[in-house]
Structure 1
């Protein structure tokens, strides 16, 4: 699946188990607010899972990631995150008042998509 933007923001966190259902309900709303910010092209949410992988002839168990919830925001430029529109979207809806205080282990990272990945993605999209 090709990226649609030259940068991605990876936002990861955990939530208290007793708030997990509400977290997932409200995060969908929160992601929609952030997706409406100019310069945000796409938001993808995911929850990590344990798995097993064969490495060097051995089947190695891998635990759940830490933190377990992640969202990938495809953005035009890191400056999008400094905008008033981003700040307003972060506070819109129920996220700030009902969920943010129940999250922990929050991590945010920016990655620039390598030119070869974007070239491959464009080629792949055209080819198929």
Structure 2
């Protein structure tokens, strides 16, 4: 066993197995009741926080329970979850209010950096 977790080694093997097992599809000919849920990606900054882990854990529980209850389940990774709204409402308004600048004024690299600083301190619900 390795001393530390190496995502690239572990996840590549799992992802190959998931694809081979048709985890990302449902059986369209199934008579079972359909159940689908979207797994949102991290925020626009890519910075993960405890809220992402909590959301994923809750969704994982719901999906497993539905599968065990006989549903034809599809859990779709990667759909947007209002990242643009968060960007506008939280980050851009804060930049304008506190520094009188827009994202266009400071450029993408600094904007992403500012976003990480702001969003990592928001409470998670």
Structures share fold, TM-score greater than 0.5 = no
- Shorter-chain TM-score category? under 0.3
Q: Which has the larger radius of gyration?
A: 2
Greater percentage in strand: 1
Greater percentage in helix: 2
Return the structure number with greater relative CO, CA threshold 8 A, min gap 6: 1
TM-score (norm 1): 0.23
